Amino acid sequence: MKTKRSLSRDRLKRIALKTIFTTIISVLAITMITPFIWMLSASMKLPLDVMKLPIEWIPKYFYPDNYMKVWNIGGKSARNYHFGLAYWNSIKIAVINLCGSVLTSTLAGYAFAKIKFRGRDILFLLYLATMMIPSQVTLIPKFVMFNSMGITGTHLTLILPGLITITGTFLMRQYFMQIPDELRESARVDGANEFLIWSRIMVPIAKPNMASLAMVVFLWNWNSYLEPLVFLSDWRLYTIPIALTNFIEESVTEYNLIMAAASSALIPAFLVFLLGQKFLVRGLVAGAVKG
């Protein structure tokens, strides 16, 4: 039997452990975001202050002009980096691909889970097998194909393949598998056809999952690098990652500007992902737990 005294000792021990670990892990968590804190601080500095030692975490002189230069506001910059245009391109592609792939994945995921058409299971197996193919294998043929289609250097090279995702179809299928058949059967009895069942019953209940998939697809598109690097050549069409690399090539020594550009690329995306973190986390975890 535990006495009252040892119980309170247990509690004390727990509180002590909690304090110690929370402190240690918080320090670690802060270390994890140090690069971003430093980036923000450097983006506000005068060029030479970036390299000053010891590091000034809070700049002595705030110099928000860096951002004005990067974004070409108020004509302060010697040249225009067209950052706004890159932002628009990235958003455009990500949103189109998000809408397209959520739609196609929800359609196909539903069919693979619920409609008993002939050849379904073998087709799905083949479909899963293509997930094993690394994107580097298909990159060169796609480059050649887009060239002969005459769409190299346009956004279609990123949008057309981005309208479907195999992972997304897989996730949606896993979701629809759990939905009881009775729901579908009762609608059939009422005379609804398959498309009506899909659009009126299945899509509404799958909305949270579609939102999760949308967040994940947005993340992939927003951060995609190799494909736009290979397929885009005109600066007017650059996405954020490509515009950034281009930016550092052009302003090698202006570290404060580079950091302002990096911050500009990161911070709005952070906000989007933090606002949607519930859905994003669900989408990322869904693939793992079922897989």
Partner 1 sequence: MKFKLSRQARIDLTGYAFILPNIIGVCLFTLFPMIFSLITSFTDWDYTKGLGNWNFIGLSNFIDMWTDEWFTSSLTNTMMFAVGVVPITIFLALVLSVLIDKYCVAKLPIRLALFIPYISNIVAVAIVWVMMYSPWGPFTQLVKVLGVEDPPQWLGSTTWALPALMLMTVWSGVGYANLIYTAAIQGLPQDVYEAADIDGAGEITKFFKLTIHFLSPTTFFLVITTFITSFQIFAPIQIMTRGGPGTATNVLVYYIYTSAFTFYRMGYASAMSWILFIILFAITIIQWYGQKKWVNY
In whole angstroms, give the CA distance from residue 255 to residue 154. Answer: 31
Stretch that binds partner 1, among 22-30, 58-66, 71-79, 175-183 (CB under 8 A): 22-30
Binding mask 137-176 for partner 1 (x = CB under 8 A): xxxxxxxxx-xx-----------xx-xx-x--x-------
Q: Which member of 6, 34, 80, 186 binds partner 1 (CB under 8 A)?
A: 34
From CA 189, how far away is CA 160, in angstroms rounded? 38
Q: Rule CB under 8 A: is residue 116 a binding residue for partner 1?
A: yes
Q: How many residues bind partner 1 (CB under 8 A)?
A: 95
Name every residue whose Cβ is closer than 8 Å to that of residue 165 and which is 6 or more positions away in sequence.
Answer: 101, 104, 105, 217, 220
* Contacting range for partner 1; rule: CB under 8 A; set: 74-82, 183-191, 203-211, 280-288: 280-288
- Is the bond preceding 54 in cis, omega lying within 30 degrees of 0? yes
CA distance 165 to 210: 13
Q: Which of 133, 177, 205, 275 binds partner 1 (CB under 8 A)?
A: 133
Handedness of CA 166, 215, 228, 40 (dihedral sign): negative
Distance in Å, CB of 131 to partner 1, minimum? 9
**Cα–Cα distance, 194 to 199 (Å, whole number):** 9
- Distance CA(270)–CA(276), nearest Å, equals 10
Please identify, using beta-carbon distances, which residue of 29 and 74 lies nearer to partner 1: 29
Smallest distance from partner 1 to CB 269, Å = 6
Residue type at position 64: P
Q: Looking at beta carbons only, is 54 or 74 nearer to partner 1?
A: 54
Q: How far is the CB of 75 from partner 1 (least distance, A)?
A: 26
How near is the Cβ of 180 to partner 1 at its closest, in Å?
A: 19
C-alpha 235/C-alpha 78 separation (Å) is 18
In total, the chain counts a number of residues equal to: 291
Interface positions, 52-111, toward partner 1 (CB under 8 A): 52-55, 104-105, 107-108, 110-111
Stretch that binds partner 1, among 77-85, 118-126, 178-186, 206-214 (CB under 8 A): 118-126
Q: Which residue stretch of 64-72, 74-82, 177-185, 273-281 sits at the interface with partner 1 (rule: CB under 8 A)?
A: 273-281
Minimum distance from CB of 47 to partner 1 (Å)?
A: 13
**Residue whose structure tokens are 């087709």:** 123
Query: 33 or 73: whose CB is closer to partner 1?
Result: 33
Nearest to 112 by CA among 131, 130, 99, 125: 125
